Amino acid sequence: MSDEGIETESSAETRLMSPAQPSLRDRFAEWMDEPGDEAGAGTGALDADPDSTQVIPAAVAVIHPQREPIPVPPEFASPPRSATAANGSADVEAETAQPAAGTQPATGEQPAAPDTRPQAPGGAKPAGGKQPGGKPDDGGFHGPPRWQDHVPFDETGVLMRPESLRAKAMHAETELISAIKIEDDDSEAAKSQRPGFWTGAWPRRALVGSIMAVQAVLSLRNNNSPFVDESLYLYSGHLELAHMLHGTSTGIDFWSYFSGAPVLYPPLGALADQIGGIFAARLLSLLFMLATTGLLYLITRRLFGTRAGLCAAALFSCTEPTLFLGGLATYDAPALFLLALATFLVVRFAASNYPFYLLAVFPAALAVGTKYVSLLFVPTIFVLAFLAAAPYSRAWAVIRPIALSLGTACVLYTGYRLAGTSAAAGISATTTNRAHGTDTLTLVMKQAGQYIGVVFVIALIGAVFVVRLPRRHAHPAVSPDRWQRTALAVLLAGTALLAPLYQAHLHTAVSLQKHVGFGLFFAAPLAGYGLVRIVGPHFHRVQLGIGVLVLTFALGMGQSLSMFHSWTNSYAAVAALVKYQKPGAHYLFADGPNAIYLLRGDPYAEPSQITDAFSFGWWDEQGKYITGDAAYADAIQAGYFQVVSYDFSANPGAEQAIAQALYNSPIYRLAAKIYTPTSGGPAWSYVWVRK
C-alpha cells in the first residue's frame, strides 16, 4: 500500500506522545486547509487502496490535499466561505468520522467506539484543538495576525506582489470593458449573436452615424457666397444640361481649360442647383463626403479591425480637407468618393475566388474623368489590391493589379477618344503641364502639415505598429510576412505625400487644401490603427486618444471655417451691380463667374455682357488688339463698362491696374464701398458706376 500522504498509526501515536512541536511545513499546511478537509482527505486515502483493512483514526491522519486558490479581499474577488454555521455553531466536520463504507477493520483490531461523552451546550468542540471559525491551535503557536487574513497569497502561500494585485484589478476592468466591447463582424461572438437592435452591429452603426452627424454639422456651419470655382462649374453644368436635353450650343469649350470632364460632375451639380440653389449643390458634395467616410470605416475595419475603423473615420471626418470639400460644390468630393469606392471594392473582394474586384475599374476610371489629378492616386488602389489579396492567394494576387490596370486604361482611352482633342488641351493645361508658380518647397510642405500633419503623424505611428506585428496576429486581411506589411505601411503612408510633393514640384500651393484630402484618405486606416495602439487594448492611455481627437477636431473646425471665409462675400457687390444695370450695357466684375451664376436668367445681364479680371481683349482707337492690363485701362478710358466692381482678391495685379484707371478717369464715380470680413482680415469691395 502506498504511504504517500498518510501516516501509519504507530508513527502518528509516536508523534502525539512526543512533546516536540509539529514542523513548520505541517503547521502551515494545517493552517491553510479548510475545516473538514482532514476528515475528507482521510477517507480519500483509504479509498486509494481498497485492499487495505487497516483502520487509521481520522484524528491522527495528516493529509495534504490539493488546496483551492486562497481567497483575496472583497474588492478583487468574492468573500471567503464562512466558517460559522447559520445557527451560530461551528460548521466543522467531526474528525472522528467512521471508516468509509465497504472497508473492514484490520485483523486483531476493534472498531473505534463512538464518543458518548456529553457535549457542551454551545455545540461540539472540534477535534484537533480547533476553535470555531478560527485557525488551528498548533500547541501554543497561535495563528497569524489578523491583518494577514486579508493579505492575498498566491497558490504557494507567497505574498502576492503589487503587480499581481494590479493584474487582478485589471481583470475587473476587463470585465467592464467586455460589457461594451464591439465585436468584429467576423468574430465568433458576432456570428453567434441574434439579429436585433442591441447586437454588435447596431452599436457600431450608431457610432459611425454619430461620426457622420458631427461631420455634417461641421460642414454645414461653413457658409459664404459661392466660390468662383463653384459658380463656374454650376454655370457650365446648366449649359451642358441644355446641350444634352435641347441640343443648344454651350458657346464655350469647357474641355480646353477644365481640370475635369465638364460632362460628368457639372451637370449633376446643376441638377441639384435647380432644385435648391447653391445650398442643394453643396449638400450633394456633403453626401459624397459622408459616403467617403463610411467607405473608409468599412475598408479599415477589414484591414485592422472595428476599433481602428471607428478611429479612422473619426480622425478623417473632422480634418480640414474633409470639412472643406463637404461644403464646396466642386468635383473634388465626387472624385474622392469614386476613389474610395474603388478602394473598397478591391479590399472587399480580396478573399474572393471570383474576379469581382474588376468592378473597381469603373469607379477608378470615373474618378480620373471627374478630376484629372485623381490619376495620381489610382496606382495606390492597384497595389493595394495585390497586398490585400496576398494573405489569401499570393499567386493569383499578382494578377489583380495587372488586370485592374488594363481595364482602367481601356475605359480611360475610350473616354478620351470620345472627348476629342479639346480634352487633351485641358489635361495638359490643368494637370500634366500646369504652369509653375513661385511658392517655395518649404511653404507648400508647411501648409500641407497644417492641414493633415496631426493625422499623418498618427499614421506613421500606426505604420510602425503594423510592421512590428508578429507573424501570427489577429488581422487576417494583413499578411503574416513582414515585407508585405512593410509594403502596405509604406504604400498607405506614402500616398499622403503625393499631392504635397507634386505641388512642391510645381511650386504652387493653389488648391493644396483640397488635394491633400485625397492622400489623407489612404493614410487614415493607418492613423486609425495607430490611435487604437496608442490608447491600448484596455484603454490604458485613453487620455492620449481623446487628446488626439480633440486636437484634430479643433484644427479641422477652425481651418475649414477659415478657408470658407478666405474669399469676400459677393452678394452685396452683385446687388449693387443690379441696382445700376442698363439694357445692353457691359459690366466688369472681378469675380466674373460669380456674377454670371448669381444673375443667371437676368435679361439685362447676359453672360456675354460680363467681363472678369482674368482675361480681356480690346481693340484700341488705332485698331490694334490689346490684352491684359492695358486692355482694361483703355476700355475704362473709353467708358466701355457701365459698372465696375473689384475687391483685390481675384487677380490682384489686374485689379490694381483697373483701380488706377478708374481713379484717373473723369467719367466714373465711386458708387459703393462694401465692407466684408474675411479670415485674412477686413476686405473692401468697390463699385464704380459710369456718370
* pLDDT tens per residue, range 52-101: 444 444 444 444 455 555 555 555 554 444 444 444 444 444 444 444 44
pTM above 0.85, yes or no: no
Average pLDDT over every residue of 392-408: 92
Terminal alpha carbon distance of the chain: 129
More confident residue, 107 or 565: 565
Return the SS3 of 384.
helix
CA-CA-CA-CA torsion sign (33, 34, 35, 37): negative
User: Is 558's pLDDT higher than 90?
Assistant: yes
Confidence band, pLDDT 50/70/90 cuts, at residue 24? low
Q: Identify the CA nearest to 481 among candidates 463, 497, 467.
A: 467
The Cβ of residue 177 has, within 10 Å, a number of other Cβ atoms equal to: 13
Compute the distance between CA of residue 171 and CA of residue 154 in angstroms, rounded to an integer.
Answer: 16
Residue 432, phi then psi, degrees to nearest 5: -75, -40
The Cβ of residue 322 has, within 10 Å, a number of other Cβ atoms equal to: 28
Average pLDDT over every residue of 542-566: 94
More confident residue, 587 or 85: 587
User: Is 111's pLDDT higher than 70?
Assistant: no
Structure confidence by residue, pLDDT tens digits, 513-526: 999 999 999 999 99
Q: Identify the CA nearest to 293 among candidates 251, 344, 362.
A: 344
Residue 12 has what pLDDT? 44
Which CATH number among 1.20.1270, 1.10.10, 3.40.190, 1.20.120 corresponds to the domain 571-690? 3.40.190
Domain with CATH 3.40.190 in the chain: 571-690
Structure confidence by residue, pLDDT tens digits, 343-383: 999 999 999 999 999 999 999 999 999 999 999 999 999 99
CB-count burial class (<10 Å; 0-12, 13-18, 19+) for 387: buried
Q: Are 296 and 315 in contact (CB under 8 A)?
A: no
What is the identity of the amino acid at 471? Answer: R
Residue 395 has what pLDDT? 81
Q: Identify the CA nearest to 379 among candidates 493, 495, 516.
A: 495
Compute the distance between CA of residue 516 and CA of residue 174 in angstroms, rounded to an integer.
Answer: 39
Residue 21 has what pLDDT? 54
What is the identity of the amino acid at 640? Answer: Y
Residue 570 has what pLDDT? 92
Q: How high is the mean pLDDT of the chain?
A: 80
Q: Which residues contact 660 (CB under 8 A, 6 or more apart)?
A: 633
- Least confident interval from 12-16, 67-71, 236-240, 683-687: 12-16
User: Is 572's pLDDT higher than 70?
Assistant: yes
Residue 51 has what pLDDT? 47
Structure confidence by residue, pLDDT tens digits, 412-435: 999 999 888 888 888 888 887 887
- Least confident interval from 181-185, 273-277, 488-492, 594-598: 181-185
